[in-house]
C-alpha cells in the first residue's frame, strides 16, 4: 500500500481551468518544464545571496509549474517518453540547484551544519528517484514512498518562507534518506519474490498415484 503525505496529482477541478488557458496561449509541456528549472535557478541565486523569504516563494511558484506540464501533455495529446524523461531530469536539477543555493548560503554565513544537511538532502532526493528508476528498469512498478518530490518541494518552500531552515533541512534530509531506503526495501522484497525458484514437489508426493474418480451410479 502506497502511503503518501500529499496526493500524487492535484485534483482535476483545480488544474483543468489553468490547463485550458495554457492550451489557448500555445504553451507546451517542455516550455513549462524549462521555465520551472529557470525559476528554481533564480530561487537558488536569491537564497545564496541571503534573500531567504523571496527565494522560498519563488521555489513554490517555479515548482508549481510541474503540476501542469503532465496535464498539459495529456490535454494536447503530446505525452511522450521523451517528455517524461525530460521532465524527470529537469526536476532533479531543480531540486539540486535549490539545495546548492542553501548550502552556499550556509557556507557564506559560517553555518556548516546547513551546508552538510543540504548535501544530505540532495543525496536523499537523488536516491529516491534513482531507486525508482532502477526498479522500473527491472520491470517493477515502484511508486511507494512517504516523502516524494511533492512533499520535498512543499517542505523546502515552507522552511525558507517561515525561516526555520535548519530544522527543515533536518526533516528533509532524514525523510528523503528514509524514503530511499524504504523504496530499496520494497523493491528488494519484490525482486526476491519474483526470482525465488519454484518449490520442488517432494518425491513421495510426486510418486503417489492419482486416485481415479468413482464412476457415477
List the grid coordinates of 78.
503530446
Where is average pLDDT lowest: 8-22, 48-62, 148-162? 8-22
How far, CA to CA in Å, does 119 sit from each of 6, 66, 105, 106, 197?
24, 23, 13, 11, 41
- Where are the chain's structural domains? 12-193
Q: Which residues contact 39 (CB under 8 A, 6 or more apart)?
A: 58, 61, 62, 63, 65
pLDDT digits (tens, 9 = 90+) for 95-154: 999 999 999 999 999 999 999 999 999 999 999 999 999 998 888 888 888 888 889 999
pLDDT digits (tens, 9 = 90+) for 192-217: 988 888 775 555 555 555 545 444 44
Q: Which fold has domain 12-193?
A: 1.20.120
Q: Distance of alpha carbon 39 from its chain centroid, rounded?
A: 18
- What percentage of the chain reaches a pLDDT higher than 70? 86
Amino acid at each position: 500500500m502506497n502511503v503518501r503525505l500529499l496526493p500524487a496529482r492535484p485534483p482535476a477541478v483545480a488544474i483543468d481551468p489553468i490547463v485550458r488557458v495554457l492550451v489557448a496561449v500555445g504553451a507546451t509541456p517542455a516550455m513549462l518544464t524549462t521555465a520551472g528549472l529557470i525559476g528554481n535557478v533564480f530561487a537558488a541565486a536569491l537564497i545564496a545571496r541571503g534573500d531567504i523569504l523571496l527565494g522560498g516563494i519563488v521555489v513554490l511558484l517555479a515548482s508549481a509549474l510541474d503540476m501542469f506540464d503532465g496535464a498539459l501533455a495529456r490535454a494536447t495529446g503530446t505525452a511522450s517518453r521523451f517528455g517524461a524523461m525530460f521532465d524527470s531530469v529537469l526536476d532533479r536539477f531543480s531540486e539540486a540547484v535549490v539545495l546548492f543555493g542553501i548550502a552556499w548560503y550556509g557556507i557564506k554565513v559560517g553555518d556548516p551544519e546547513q551546508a552538510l544537511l543540504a548535501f544530505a538532502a540532495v543525496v536523499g532526493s537523488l536516491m529516491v528517484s534513482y531507486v525508482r528508476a532502477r526498479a522500473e528498469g527491472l520491470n517493477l512498478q515502484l511508486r511507494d514512498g512517504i516523502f516524494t518530490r511533492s512533499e520535498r518541494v512543499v517542505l523546502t518552500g515552507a522552511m525558507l518562507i517561515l525561516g526555520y531552515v535548519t530544522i527543515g533541512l533536518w526533516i528533509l534530509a532524514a525523510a528523503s534518506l528514509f524514503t530511499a531506503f524504504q523504496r530499496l526495501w520494497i523493491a528488494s522484497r519484490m525482486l526476491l519474490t519474483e526470482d525465488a525458484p519454484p518449490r520442488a514437489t517432494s518425491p513421495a508426493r510426486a510418486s503417489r498415484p492419482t486416485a481415479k474418480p468413482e464412476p457415477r451410479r
